[in-house]
Every structure is written in structure tokens, then in C-alpha cells.
Structure 1
Amino acid sequence: MQSGFIRGLSWLGGPILWIALLVVDGATEATSDSAVEINLVQNRLAVNGYDPVAYFTDGVPVPGRPALEHEVGGAVYRFASEENRRRFMSDPQRFTPAYGGFCAYGVRAGRKLPADPMAWRIVDGRLFLLLNPGTKTIWELNLGENIVSADAIWPKILTLTDAELQSRVP
């Protein structure tokens, strides 16, 4: 039986939706240091090693430098400049991605999927990362509704791993 969410997206066509939601390149791991799972890659890197501040200041993803790191809640953030690192340190919540850096559309679907730092959008001062550019396109079709739904779902899943979430799917 399909969930209401999947039935509601049937107009997109099954193959397109499943490709967008399930194609994942790169491995991810997660941490539960602060009871909230954060999307991390090797060496506990958040945002795949990209500078989270640069999305706001430069308007593009910029790789961070290993020499410019700062750790928050078990996640290591990298920065392109010392100025960006200082900005982040003064207000980490402002710059950290929504939903622990997991794919915003995946959270909307009750999952914790990895995110591509090149598939992103800032909405109302919040950084959202998405699985891939195709998923970003689908997510943006109902942007406001998807954010409201994901915001409601996130508190219910934030301490669960994606494996736990996936095992709950009928």
C-alpha cells in the first residue's frame, strides 16, 4: 500500500520519483553525539566539507579548507576563510543546514537521506540541502508545503537513524 505522500506525487511518475529519492552517490555516516543525528561523511565532516557560511555570503557552495575547521556537536565544519569560521563560531545555528544536513525532501518523506552540497537553497534564512539536483527540482514544486511538512516531521525522526526509519515503512 502506498503512503498518501507517494500517492500525492503519482503525477510525477513512479520511476522519476524513485530515481530522485533513491539514487545516492557517496557514503554517509551519522553521529548521535548530541541526540540529534547529523549527516556526516568521512572524518565526521558536515556539509561534505563545504563551507556552510559561504552559501549565505558567496551564494555558491565553496569547499572548506582542512586547516580551517570547527567542531559542533560531534560534527566537523570546514571553512573557506578565517572570517567565515569566525562568523560560524559566533552563531552556529544560523549557518548549520536544516534537518541535520540531511536531504530536506527526504525528511519530508520521513527519511534521512544524504545530501549533495551542490543541491541547495536558502529559504527565509535557512540552508536546505537536497539529495541531488533532480530532487531539488521536485522539492521546489511545492516549496512552502514541503518545508512545513518536513518541519513537522523532523522532531519525530531526529533521534532515529535512516535504517530505523526505513524498517518502519510497511
Structure 2
Amino acid sequence: MLRTTGVRLPRIGMPILLVTLALIAAAGPGRAEPGVTLHLLEGRIAVNGYDPVAYFTEGAPVPGLRAHEHESGGAVYRFASEENRRRFAADPQRYKPAYGGFCAYGVRTGRKFPTDPTAWRIVDGRLYLLLNPATKAIWDLELQNNIEIADAIWPQIVPYTDTELVSRTP
């Protein structure tokens, strides 16, 4: 077993950590965001085009459809059904992902990375998206601590692009 910051990682933990760090580095600065406060795809599409309501109602990522779009806060959200679009329109803050849809673990480290819609977690009614399944495994090891740290860091990094964040790091 490997001990890291008080968390016991099984032998598989170190390879997962190393792969995750390599993938984060490969994501590179600036590739994650056309905007600053939101992770958006071309066309201002949020949540990688996936239905944010479905994470809560289906317990799974479900691709949204162009026919069921809703604009909110400068982003275009897509939904799998008109019912989900209506739910979102009635209470967008309930369904929008934390940290503008950027990788929650990336925010915890002071960066803004893109996300994989299949790497996610809902905690206390809040949707967190992550870079990839390996990053999610690391995020889950100290879930509450990671959320507390990311919550504290997000207001400080929200106005910056990832490129700017990299250049500010000593």
C-alpha cells in the first residue's frame, strides 16, 4: 500500500494517479474553454451537449438533442426530452454543473480542464463533471475535502483562462 496525504491507496492507486496526471498534462492549457467562466463547446454548447437533468433523473449521462435546447447564462444546454428542458428552465441552478462545467478535480488544483460526460458525480444535489474516469477515481478518494478545496479556489480562478492560470503558477 502507498500512503499519500493520509489516504491509503491500493497498489493500483499509483498507476491511476500517474495516468490521470499525464492526461491532465496532455489536455494542455487553453484547450478546455472557448469562454472563461464556462466550459463550452463550439456554438456555446454546455455539458458537452449532454442533458444535465438526466444525470439527476436517469442517473446516467444522456446525449441532448438540438430539438430540445435552452439558453441560460450565455450557454446553450441540450436535453433528451422536452420534459427535461422544462425542468431545467424552471430551475437552472439546480441542474447546472459545478464550476461552470470544468473538471472539478482540475479546479481543485487551480486549473480549468475539459470534461468527459461519463465521468461525473452528484454530491448533495450538485453535479460535478471530471476530466475522465481515472480523475474521478482520484477525486472520489477524498471527495468532501476535494469539494471544499475546489469551492474555495473557484472564485479565485473564475475570471482566468487555463492559459492564464498556467502562466500565473510559479
Give TM class, smaller chain: 0.7 to 0.9
Deviating runs (4+, > 6 A) in structure 1?
none
Distance 2:21 2:104 in 1: 16
Q: What are the within-5 Å matches in structure 2 for residues 83-102 of structure 1?
A: 83-102=83-102
Deviation at 1:20, TM superposition (A): 4.3
Does structure 2 conserve the Cα–Cα contact (< 8 Å) formed by 1:39 and 1:101?
yes
Does structure 1 conserve the Cα–Cα contact (< 8 Å) formed by 2:44 and 2:75?
yes
* Residue 60 to residue 17, structure 1, CA distance change in 2 (3 Å): closer
Q: Is 2:18 the counterpart of 1:15?
A: yes
Normalised to the residue count of structure 2, the TM-score between the two structures is 0.86
Deviation at 1:66, TM superposition (A): 0.4
1:22-61 per-residue CA deviation (whole Å, 9 max, x = no partner) reads: 2439x543325xxxx1000121110000000000000000
Distance 2:141 2:23 in 1: 14
Does structure 2 conserve the Cα–Cα contact (< 8 Å) formed by 1:28 and 1:42?
no
| One of 24, 29, 32 as aligned partner of 2:33 | 29
Name which structure has the greater RCO, CA cutoff 8 Å, separation 6+: 2
Q: What are the within-5 Å matches in structure 2 for residues 16-95 of structure 1?
A: 16-24=19-27, 28-32=32-36, 37-95=37-95
Matched residue pairs, number? 158
Identity of aligned residues (%): 62
Q: Structure 1: which 5+ residue stretches go unaligned?
A: 1-6
